[in-house]
Amino acid sequence: MTELSDLYSQRIIELAATIPPAGHLAAPDATASAHSKLCGSTIAIELAMNGDRVTEYAQTVKACLLGQASAAVMARNIVGSSDAELREVAAEMRRMLKENGTPPGGRWADLSALEPVREVKGRHASTLLAFEAVVRALDQIAEKRGAHEKVAARD
């Protein structure tokens, strides 16, 4: 069984402390939010992309320490990431927490600090909020582009 000291480790506290201030983009391509009914944590994000790469990102986070830590890692790494990379990191996080998968690596390796959360199912949702919101925003952008391509093809 995971101890609270493992769940709220010094590394998670350090990550959460690096969360950037809330902000907004002048012209986001998509906005999305995610909410944990269990703990009340919420994240709202704004995303701008050029092609399949994120060029700007802003977030407003009202979450527990775990949600703040994952949102801080997201904010630090998202600009320059591709749609495919972000979807894969989100899938890796879900697998890490729900299927005993390995944590994300590379520049996302700090997310491994959240690995003890897998033992506390009630904290999965807050830990995944940033990823859920980003995937929702990516889906919105893909949908808009698909609709735009259909209109262009008709013209």
Count Cβ atoms below 10 Å from residue 132 Cβ, excluding itself: 20
Structure confidence at residue 155 (pLDDT): 44
Distances (CA, A) of 108 to 71, 74, 111, 149: 12, 8, 6, 33
Residue 151 pLDDT grade (very low, low, confident, very high; cuts 50, 70, 90): very low
Residues 103-116 have pLDDT tens digits of 999 999 999 999 99
Give the pair of three-digit tokens for residue 86: 């972000």
Q: How far, in Å, CA of 137 to CA of 28, rounded?
A: 10
* Verdict on whether the full-model pTM lies above 0.85: yes
Structure confidence at residue 38 (pLDDT): 84
Q: How far, in Å, CA of 60 to CA of 80, rounded?
A: 20
CB distance 47 to 141 below 8 Å = yes
Structure confidence at residue 8 (pLDDT): 81
CB distance 83 to 74 below 8 Å = no
Residues 122-148 have pLDDT tens digits of 899 999 999 999 999 999 999 988 865
Per the prediction, the chain carries an average pLDDT of 91
Give the pair of three-digit tokens for residue 72: 């801080």
